Amino acid sequence: MTTSFLSSLFLFAFLIMGNITQDDNNIVFRVNAGEYDLINHPVSAELPSSRYTENSVVCLSSGYGNSPVPGQITLSGSHAKLWWTVSQSAGETVDYRILTGVQCSSSIFSWNSPSPSSTRLNLGDLPVLQYEHQKFDPEDTRLTMKPFHHLFDPAGKQKITKGPGGLYGHHRGIFYGYRVYIGGSDERIDIWGSVRQKERSEHYEIIAEYSGPVTGGHVMRIMWKDFDGEPFAEEIRELRAYRQGRGETLIDFNSTITSLIDEHIHLGGDRHHGGVQFRASQEVADQEDGNGTSLFIRPANLSHIGRRVELGDDDDIMDLPWNAFNFSVNKRPYTVAYMSHPSNPEGAEMSERLYGRFGEFIPYDLENRGDSLKLQYRFWVVTGEAPSVEEIDQRYSAYAATPVVEVLKGFR
């Protein structure tokens, strides 16, 4: 056995103890699937108690004859939240109860640090994602201008995202930025590319980490800084991965940017130079220089646009619910579906590039100190045959609708 696997088993044994008692068997969690099928869909329930420890592990039963499923408890202030994944048909209602003294999972999400500037999430022995947060170096702004996340393929065999260098060196992994204008000035503070001066988004700290059999993730504080290195905005960014079926990865990206200054901040740019973006491995761009095979999968109402035709600047298409990119790395095919939560502000413009970058740009204004922009996205990664338009639409609809979870019985 590897050292990391043994460490994961030890951590799991520690976490499963938590503070779970027989009283918890009195709690019933009722999940109503609503109008859409739920397939390995993450759900959560608020528990009106703080008597649990962070990342405590439980098992949940949905009835006689059904195998128990793992649940994981995370803490936020004085409240606990229970996470688990469900598969239910549209309209189906299922009750779940906590079991005590039962083990229902052996592999867990856990964190390690391959280097001082990298933090990696693993599921068992397999890497899932990696947070790259180089310390800013004014002598090497290109390398250190912003943090980002690499994604590994669902089998944990290889990275499917691009790092620094290659075509457009500032594109890397899942990344986020804007061309910023402060106080009505036309002077650009380029958090998107940071190729002009010493402006940047800079990792400040990891606020929280989640580990367990259901979900692994972390919350970061990132400072957005001007030419003089002074912060004008603070970003709280959370990435969270969920246990899925074989050959799939599901990751949520949530961000809140808050103004730290009294002046107006315009988060600008354009669809190709701003927003939350995904950039596939450099190999995809290299393929496009020859006989490229990457393509886009879009909602049914855009079926008239060729899959190897990029959406252009003149296309009057706004607020796409989702888009998907199909590509290959080392001859292995992948599809990444990019889903935009309906709570995001309107006016989103989708950017597509067959060399491997896509994502949406939402211009926004922070008028006063304390104003915030909140964004939520989900990335569904599939290995092998690409999912159909209907399958992606189904996954998006479940994400957008948020199934209802009721806590029917409380604590003694």
220 token code pair: 């970061």
Whether pLDDT at 158 is above 90? yes
Residues in contact with 303: Cβ distance below 8 Å, sequence separation at least 6, in sequence order: 389
Are the CB atoms for 238 and 356 separated by under 8 Å?
no
144: Cβ–Cβ under 8 A, 6 or more apart, which residues?
134, 135, 136, 137, 200
The Cα 224–Cα 177 span in angstroms is 9
- Choice between 228 and 2, residue whose per-residue pLDDT is larger: 228
Q: Which of 182, 236, 144, 100 is nearest to 367 (CA)?
A: 182
* Cβ neighbours of residue 339 closer than 8 Å, sequence gap 6 or more: 321, 322, 377, 378, 379, 380, 395, 396, 399, 400
Q: How far apart are CA 138 and CA 199, in angstroms?
A: 10
For the chain, which domains are there? 3-106 (2.60.40), 109-400 (2.70.98)
**150 vs 88, 127, 205, 350, CA distance in Å?**
31, 10, 18, 21
What is the rounded CA–CA span in Å between residue 55 and residue 120? 18
How many CB atoms sit inside 10 A of residue 208's CB?
13
pLDDT value for 344: 98
Furthest CA-CA distance within the chain: 67
| 188 close to 196: Cβ distance less than 8 angstroms | yes
**Per-residue pLDDT averaged across 346-353, rounded?**
96
pTM comes to: 0.93
The C-alpha atoms of residue 244 and residue 212 are separated, in whole angstroms, by 14
What per-residue confidence (pLDDT) applies to 52? 75
pLDDT 10s digits, 48-93? 666 677 778 889 999 867 889 999 998 877 778 999 999 999 999 9
Q: Looking at residue 4, what DSSP letter applies?
A: H
- Looking at the DSSP bridge assignments, the partners of residue 146 are none
Give dist(CA 340, CA 320) in Å, integer. 8
217-240 tens-digit pLDDT: 999 999 999 999 999 999 999 999
- Burial class of 333 by CB neighbour count within 10 A (0 to 12, 13 to 18, 19+): middle
**3 state DSSP class of 353:** strand
Residue 5 pLDDT class (50, 70, 90 cuts): very low
Strand ranges across the sheet with 275-279: 109-115, 118-123, 126-132, 148-151, 173-177, 275-279, 357-361, 349-353
pLDDT computed for residue 343 by the predictor: 98
For the stretch 368-391, what's the b/e string if a residue is b when 16 or more beta carbons lie within 10 angstroms of its beta carbon?
A: eeeeebebbbbbbbbbeebbebeb
In sequence order, what are the residues at sequence separation of 6 or more whose Cβ sits closer than 8 angstroms to the Cβ of residue 102? 59, 68
Question: Cβ atoms within 10 A of the Cβ of 229, count?
Answer: 13
Least confident of 69-78, 160-169, 230-239, 273-282: 69-78
The mean pLDDT of 334-358, rounded to a whole number, is 97
To which residue do tokens 């949905």 refer?
62
